Every structure is written in structure tokens, then in C-alpha cells.
Amino acid sequence: MRQDFLKGMRHGIPVMLGYLSVSFGFGINAVAAGLSVLQAVGISLTNLTSAGQVAGVTIIAAGGSLIEMAAAQFIINIRYSLMGFSLSGKLSSSFTTGHRLITSFGITDENFAIASVQPEPLTPSYLYGLELVGLLGWVLGTFLGAFAGNILPMRVTAAMGLMLYGMFIAIIIPPAKKDHRVLFVILLAAGLSVLIRYGFSFISAGTSVIVCAVLASVIGAVLFGHKEAAT
Amino acid sequence: MSVWIYVAVMAGMTYLIRMIPFTFFRRKIRSRFLNTVLYYMPYAVLSAMTFPSIFYATGDTVSASVGTVVALILAYFDLPLIVVAVSSSVAALAVGLIL
């Protein structure tokens, strides 16, 4: 049990290092958008997700509605449901409902990727170790970024505002290179987003992400069929 | 409206999305169409969030554009996330200092 916890923590270290830099960027962006250090850290501690948090801060800064907030989080984070479905089948028999309720909080892209490739069934201890280390990195990075956003020169924090977007690009480009359907979906989503920003600027930023993401994904699925088809 | 109300809605929705299938469902999603849409969704979300916002991220379109190009090139060569993220920032900072 202790063994599994330590193993999970060990597996979480690369995730933590990645989260540190990314959440640093989030902290900077959050403070730049008008949030306090405590609010930025509070968001990271209770959400543990990059894209959802960025969209959330955008909606808060724009004074959007709570329905818009809920809908944006739903669309952006619905992939975690899919990961939850998938991971659910890999759990050891010691996984009680209580453990499921707690560990489900830590389902992220990175934790999912690591947990789902483990050869043996997942124990609660392993997932606790893995998720705890990642969460620490995520919260600590947010704090440092939000704090730095208040003390570093404007010029430096402004440039650091690019970090999060740089990471998003690093996530979407490699699969787009290998799979032209992903490339098409990415270009379509970006094109729609640009169109809405300049042509239909009455649509809020949060709603725009929802509309673009759903349209691009559905059009991609209609045009290219199911994902296993052409690979 | 208090920021914390937004945070509560955000956190609540995100938790429910993670918790419900993981805790209560034990079957796979059968619809291939839905699976495909869900497969494309994260890429579409990230792309829509990045463009065109990235060009305004530094407060200066020129430095942001240079940072964007640097990120695109490094990502194309499969460099790690941290390297891509930091390099695009450094490139934008360098441009900001020169101009």
C-alpha cells in the first residue's frame, strides 16, 4: 500500500515539473486579468485543469454569466468523462466508491495518460500518490506565477503571458502533423474563432470557445468518419 | 458578483464531469460518432482558445506574433511542452527589448 503510494508519487514527478511551468503561466494570466493571488490559487486547487481554468478566468474577467461558465467548463472538460469511463475499467478490487469519489478529482490528461498505461490494476494508493504530486506542482506553480505577476517588471510578465498558449500549441501541433483530420479540426476551430472575434464580436469569449469547439469537432467527425478508420 | 461564486460553479461542474462516469458508470460509450467528436474536442478547444488570443497575450502584436511562430516551429519538431512554452516567451521578451 505504502509501496504503491510511493510509486504513484514517483510517476507523478515529471507531471509535477510540467505543471509547475504551465500553472506559473496561468498564475500570471489570472493576476493580469484582475484576480488576486488567493483567487488564482483557489481556482487551481479546486479545478486542476489548464484549458478550463483559462476559459474560466476569461469569463470572470468579462463578467460573464454563471450559465456560460458552467457550459464552458462542460464542453472543455467533457473529455475527462471519457477518461473516467476508460480508467474505471482498470481499477483494482480494493477501489471502493469512496476512493472513486476522491480520486476522480485528479483525472487530468497527464494523470490519465500515465495511469492508463500501467500494466497492473490501479490501486487507490497509487492514484493518490500520482495525483497528490501533480496537484502540489499545479498549486505551487500558480502561486509563484500569481506572486511574480505582482513583482516582476511588466515587460517580463507580459512575455510570460505567452507560456500557456505556447503549451497549447505544443499539445496540438504534434498530433496534427501525424493526422490530417486533427490538423483540419484545429485549423477550422482557429478560423471560426478568428471569424467570431472580428465578425461577430457580440459573442462572448466563453461562448465563442464552446461554439468553435463543438462545430469543428462535429464537422470533423461528419467529414472523416470515426477516428479508427484511416489510421 | 463575487469571484468565488464563479469559482464554485467552475469547480463544481469540473468535478461532476470527472466524478460521475468514474464512480457510477462501468460501461463504454458505444457511439462511434460521439467517441470521434470527443476525440477531436480537446484539440478544437485548445485551438479556439489560442487563436486569435495569442496575438494579444503580450500586449504587443509584433512580439506576440514572433513568440507564436517560435512556438509553432518548436512544436513541429516535437520539443517538450516546457521548452516550447518558455522559448516562445523568451522570444517575445527579446523582441520587446529590441523594439
Q: Are residues A46 and A20 in the same domain?
A: yes
A98 and A143: one domain? yes
Residues on chain A touching B23 (C-beta within 8 angstroms)? 84, 97, 100-101, 104
DSSP A121: P
Per the model's pLDDT, the better-predicted residue between A174 and B42 turns out to be A174
Check whether residue A35 and residue A76 sit in a common domain. Answer: yes
Residue identified by cell 472575434 is: A197
The cell numbers describing A46, all together, are 479546486
**Which of A171, A188, A219 represents a domain boundary (last residue)?**
A171
The chain-wide mean pLDDT, for chain A, equals: 89
Q: Is A16's pLDDT higher than 50?
A: yes
pLDDT-derived band at A215, boundaries 50, 70, 90: very high
More confident residue, A218 or B42: A218
Could you report the predicted ipTM of this complex, rounded to two decimals? 0.87
Whether residue A107 sits in one domain with residue A27: yes
Residue B60 φ then ψ, to 5°: -145, 115
Instruction: Encode pLDDT of A156-210 as tens digits.
Output: 878 877 887 888 898 899 999 999 999 999 999 999 999 999 999 888 777 788 8
- The whole-number pLDDT of residue A230 equals 38
Split into its structural domains, chain A has a count of 2
A161 with B58: Cβ contact below 8 A: yes
Read off the pLDDT band of A229 (50, 70, 90).
very low
Q: What is the CA radius of gyration of chain A?
A: 19
Statement to judge: residues A27 and A119 lie in one domain: yes
Average pLDDT over residues A16-30: 87
Q: Indicate the residue of B18, B82, B85 with minimum beta-carbon distance to A107.
A: B18
Q: Do residues A183 and A137 share a domain?
A: no
- With contact defined as beta carbons under 8 Å apart, do B70 and B88 qualify? yes
Q: B16 burial class (0-12, 13-18, 19+ CB within 10 angstroms)?
A: middle
The reported pLDDT for the residue numbered A226 is 63
pLDDT at B86: 87
Percent of chain A with pLDDT strictly greater than 90: 58
The pLDDT value given to residue A231: 35
- Taking each helix axis from N to C end, the angle separating B81-98 and A162-178, rounded to the nearest 10 degrees, works out to 130
Q: Which residues of A touch B13 (CB under 8 A)?
A: 69-70, 73-74, 77
Q: Which of A126-135, B21-30, B54-63 has the lowest mean pLDDT?
A: B21-30
Q: Which range marks the domain in which residue A206 is found?
A: 179-231
Contact B14 A52 (CB under 8 A): yes
pTM score: 0.74
Q: What percent of chain B has pLDDT over 90?
A: 55
What value does the mean pLDDT take over residues A205-229?
Answer: 82
Biggest alpha carbon–alpha carbon distance for chain B: 58
Smallest Cα distance from B57 to chain A, Å: 6
| Domain identity same for A35 and A57 | yes
Q: Does residue A50 surpass a pLDDT of 90? A: no
Which chain B residues have a beta carbon less than 8 Å from that of A176? 43
Q: Domain-by-domain residue ranges, chain B? A: 3-98
For residue A171, give the chain B residue with the closest CA. B81
Chain B stretch 2-41, residues whose beta carbon is closer than 8 A to a beta carbon of chain A: 3-7, 9-11, 13-15, 17-23, 25-29, 32-33, 35-41
- Which segments of B1-99 are extended strands (E)? none
Residue whose entry in the numeric block shows the C-alpha cell 460509450? B29
The predicted structure's pLDDT at residue B31: 81
CA distances from A148 to A30, A140, A151, A204, B65 (A): 12, 12, 5, 29, 24
Residues A81 and A193 in one domain: no
User: Residue B53 class from Cβ within 10 Å (0-12 exposed, 13-18 middle, 19+ buried)?
Assistant: buried
Is the per-residue pLDDT at A17 higher than 80?
Answer: no
Q: What are phi and psi of A166, to 5 degrees?
A: -60, -40
Determine the residue among B1, B20, B50, B70 to mutate to test chain A binding: the one whose Cβ has the most chain A Cβ atoms within 10 Å: B50
- Per the model's pLDDT, the better-predicted residue between A108 and A210 turns out to be A108
Of A25, A193, A183, nearest in space to B50 by CA: A193
| C-alpha radius of gyration, chain B, whole number | 19
Contact criterion met (CB below 8 Å) for A143 and A30: no
Q: Which residues fall within 8 angstroms of residue A106, CB to CB, at 6 or more apart?
A: A48, A127, A130, A131, A132, A134, A135
